[in-house]
Structure 1
Amino acid sequence: MEDLRQRTQVSIIIPIHNAEQYLRRCLDSVMNQTHACLEVLLIDDGSTDRSKSICEEYVRQDCRFQYIYQMNQGAAIARNTGIDCATSEYVTFLDSDDSMEPGFVKQVLTEMLMTGSDIGLCDINYVDNETAEKEVSRIRFYGKTASASKTKSIFNTVRTFIWGKIYKRELFSKIRFPDLKFFEDLSIVPFMAAIANQIVYIPLPLINYYRNRNGSLSENAYNIGELIRALDLLGSFLRSSKLYDDFTDSYKKMCMAQLRFTYRRFGNRKQEKVLEQLCKLKEYVLNLFPQLYPLTECSFYTERNNHLLAQAIDKAVLYNDQIVDNIEVSNYVICFSDCVTEGVSQPTIAIKRPEHMDEESAAYDIAEEIIMAFS
C-alpha cells in the first residue's frame, strides 16, 4: 500500500486571476506537500497583474508545475480546462488565495486508497487574512465512510465547496462546472456526492480558507441571482440522471439551508437591489417547495459558535414537516411538542428564541438529544 500510494499521481488544479497578492502563499503550500507525485496545473484565467510571471517562476523551479493561459472566462471554465488537461486518476482543486497544509494530499489520498472511496474530504481551517488566527470548522460527518446509496443525508454533509476534497477524475466524465461566475461548485458537488460509490472523511483541518480578503466575491450580496441559477442547475442535473426522486428531501433541505444562510448574511442590508435579490431567492425556493413556507418565518436561535446546535436544527429541518416558533410553554432553545393542525395532532420541534441562556452547555445537551433522536 505504501508503494502504491507513493506512485499514485494527483492533479492539483488552481484557477488564477489577478492573484499576485496571495499566489506565492498558495503555490508554496503545494510545493511543500509531503506527497511528491503531483501534477500541478496553473490555469491563468486572463490575469493582467504579475500572476503570469510568478507562475512561470514556479514552473522553472519545479517540473511538476505547468502553466496554462486562457482568455478570461471565470473560475468555473478554468477548472474545466484543468480537468481536460489533467492526466492523473485523482484530482483536487485549490483557489489561488487559499493554501494546503503539508499533509493534505498524502493523508486524504491514503484514506481513499485504503477504503476504495471516490471522494475524500477533510476539515477546514478558517484563517483571518489579517491576523492569521485560525478557527477549525469540522465536517458534520457520521463515521469514517459513507455513501449516498446508504445515507441520503450525505448529499448535504459534504459541503458544497469544490476545494478541501480529492476526487476520482472519472466522476467528472458525468458532469462539468457550469458557466457561472459564482456558486458553480454548489451545483455539482452534491451531485458528485450522490453518484460516488463511497466517501471517506479525514477528521483533520488540512485546508486553509482565508477570510476578510479585500474584494472577496463571496461577500457580494448582488450575486444572489447566481445562487438561484446554481440551485436550479443542481435540480436539473439530478433530474437528467434520474436521481431527483431519491434526493428530493435532501435537495429541499439544501435549498432551505441556502435560503437561511443568505438571509443571515445579507438580511440586514437596506439596499433595494439586495432586498429584491433576497425576495427572488425566497420565491424560488417556495415555488419549488411551498410546504417550506412556515419554515421561512421561524426565528432560528443559536448560541455564539454553537455549531452543534446549528447542526441539530439542520437535522430537524430534514425530518420534520413543520417547525413551530415561539412556543410559550418552552423553557428551552429546542423542545419536543405537539401541534394540532386541522384537528390532527402531530409531533413537531418547537424553536424558541429566548432573551438569554444561563448555561450554554444546556444548549449542547439539547442538541445532542435531537441528533440522537434523528440519527
Structure 2
Amino acid sequence: MIGEALAGIGGNLQIIFPGGRIDMKKKEISISVIIPCFNAGRYIGPCLDSVLKYGLKDIEIIVINDASNDESGKILSQYDRYENVFVIENKTNLGAAKSRNLGAVKARGRYLVFLDIDTGLETDFLSIAADKFESSPKIGAMQAKLVSKDSERVESGGHFLSPFGFPYEIGVDENEKNWNEERLIFGARSAAMAIRKRVFERIGGFDENYIIYAEETDLCWRVWKLGYQIIYCPQARVRHYQKSSLNARTRYRIFFEGAKNNTANIIKNAPSKMWWMLPLHILGWGFVCLKLCFAGETKMIIWIVRGLWWDLVHLDKLIDYRRRMKINGGNHNEYERIIFGNIGTRQLISKGFNWLKNV
C-alpha cells in the first residue's frame, strides 16, 4: 500500500536531488513520470531522452534505481543537469510495486505516468494524458497504445478478465493502424499507464505483496470500484523495446506469482455476485497443473501449489484487505459490465481456454 511505502525501509532509501536544486515541497505540478529501474543500463538513455524531448515544463521525472548492480547508477548521474529529473536509490531490491509507490509518495504531479525503463515515448503521452484527464472527470486512469519493439504491431491495448479470472490482453500482434479507436478497458499495463494521483492515493497504490505479475489488474479493479473509468488512449503511443520472456530461471516466478496474485485479486476485489469466478479460477490452475504434469514439468506444479498455499495461509489478511478497501464510490454495474470485455459468453469461455492452452 502506498501509505506503507516508506515504512520499514529505514536506511535502505536514499534520494538524490540533481545538483541540490529540487525541493519536493514546492507547489503542485501537472505530471510526475515514475520509472522503476533494475539493471537496465542500456535502456535508461533512450527512455529518458524520449520523455525529455517533449520538454520539462510543469513536469518531473522520478527514476527509482532498485539496487541495480550494473552501470545504471553511473548512467543516471549523467542526467543531473536536468532540474526536474531526480533519482531515488534503493539500497536493497524492493521490487517494481514498492518502487512505484515510493515514486508516487515523492511525486508532486496531479497526474502520475508510470513507464517501464525499457519503453520509449513516440508521441507526447504526458500532454495527451493531462488533456484527457482535464476533459473528463470520470477518467481515472488510461493506457497508451503499447507497440512491439521491431514492428508496427500492438503489444497491448489493455486487458480484461476471462471467466476463469485470468487477464487477457487485447490487440496483441494486430496491426496498430487497426487500433486507433479510444475505448473503455478493464485494466491498463503499468509499462505505459497514467492515473490521477488522488485516485492512486485513495485506492492505496500498488499492493506491495505483488513482486511481479497481475499488480496492474489489482490496481485497476480498485479504480473501477472507486467509480472511475479506465480508457485505452491510442493517440498516446509507447514502444516497448524488451518484451518479457520466460526462461528456466524466471518461469517458476511467473507460476508462483501468477497463482498467488491472480487468486488474491479475486478474493480481494470480486463482488459477492461474482464469487463463482473463484472455483473456476482454481479449476483453471488444476488444468495448468495437469498440462505441466503431462509435459514432465512437475517442479512448476510445486510453484503453483505454493502460490495457492500462500493465499490460503494469508486468507485472513486478504479478507481484511477486502474489508479495508471496500470502496463504494461508484456504479458497480458499470465495471461489472466492462470486466469481461464487450464479447459474448462463448467468446469469453474460448478466451479462458485459450489462455490455459497457451500456458
TM over 0.5: yes
The whole-number CA distance in structure 2 between the counterparts of 1:195 and 1:28 is 35
| Aligned equivalent of 1:298 | none
Q: Is the 8 A contact 2:260 2:307 kept in 1?
A: no
Q: Is the 8 A contact 2:144 2:193 kept in 1?
A: yes
Higher relative contact order (CA 8 A, sep 6+): 2
SS in 2 for 1:76: helix
The whole-number CA distance in structure 2 between the counterparts of 1:229 and 1:273 is 16
SS in 2 for 1:120: strand
Task: Say whether 1:179 aligns with 2:209.
Answer: yes
| Aligned equivalent of 2:193 | 165
- Give the total of aligned pairs: 274
Q: Is the 8 A contact 1:35 1:103 kept in 2?
A: no
TM-align CA RMSD:
4.4
Residues 56-100 of structure 1 deviation map (CA, whole Å, 9 limit, x = unaligned): 21122x211011112221111111110110111110111112222
| Aligned equivalent of 1:39 | 60
SS in 2 for 1:110: helix
Q: Is the 8 A contact 2:121 2:239 kept in 1?
A: yes
Q: Is the 8 A contact 1:75 1:181 kept in 2?
A: yes
Shift of 1:26: 1.2
SS in 1 for 2:99: helix
Residues 107-148 of structure 1 deviation map (CA, whole Å, 9 limit, x = unaligned): 232122112222122321021xxxx234124445998565xx
**The one of 260, 272, 275 aligned to 1:245:** 272
- The amino acid of 1:120's aligned partner reads M
Task: Say whether 1:209 aligns with 2:240.
Answer: yes
Q: Is the 8 A contact 2:260 2:310 kept in 1?
A: no
The whole-number CA distance in structure 1 between the counterparts of 2:288 and 2:72 is 32
Task: Say whether 1:123 aligns with 2:153.
Answer: no
Residues 248-273 of structure 1 deviation map (CA, whole Å, 9 limit, x = unaligned): 57x6699599869979x989854321
The whole-number CA distance in structure 2 between the counterparts of 1:102 and 1:205 is 6
**The one of 35, 44, 60 aligned to 1:14:** 35
Q: Is the 8 A contact 1:45 1:70 kept in 2?
A: yes
Shift of 1:232: 3.5
Shift of 1:41: 0.5
Shift of 1:171: 1.8
CA pair 262-99 structure 1, distance change in 2 beyond 3 A:
farther
Unpaired segments ≥5 residues, structure 1: 1-6, 147-153, 286-310, 324-333, 335-349, 352-375
* Higher-Rg member (1/2): 1
Q: Is the 8 A contact 1:121 1:166 kept in 2?
A: yes
Shift of 1:277: 3.9
Q: Is the 8 A contact 1:162 1:189 kept in 2?
A: no
Shift of 1:276: 3.9
CA pair 214-51 structure 1, distance change in 2 beyond 3 A:
farther
Q: Is the 8 A contact 1:253 1:317 kept in 2?
A: no
Shift of 1:42: 1.0
Shift of 1:34: 5.9
Task: Say whether 1:271 aligns with 2:297.
Answer: yes
The whole-number CA distance in structure 2 between the counterparts of 1:201 and 1:170 is 20
Unpaired segments ≥5 residues, structure 2: 1-27, 159-169, 172-178, 312-339, 355-359
What TM-score do you get using the length of structure 1 for normalisation? 0.59
- The amino acid of 2:132's aligned partner reads E
- The amino acid of 1:169's aligned partner reads K
Residues 275-299 of structure 1 deviation map (CA, whole Å, 9 limit, x = unaligned): 44457779999xxxxxxxxxxxxxx
| Aligned equivalent of 1:66 | 86
Task: Say whether 1:54 aligns with 2:72.
Answer: no
Q: Is the 8 A contact 1:80 1:176 kept in 2?
A: yes
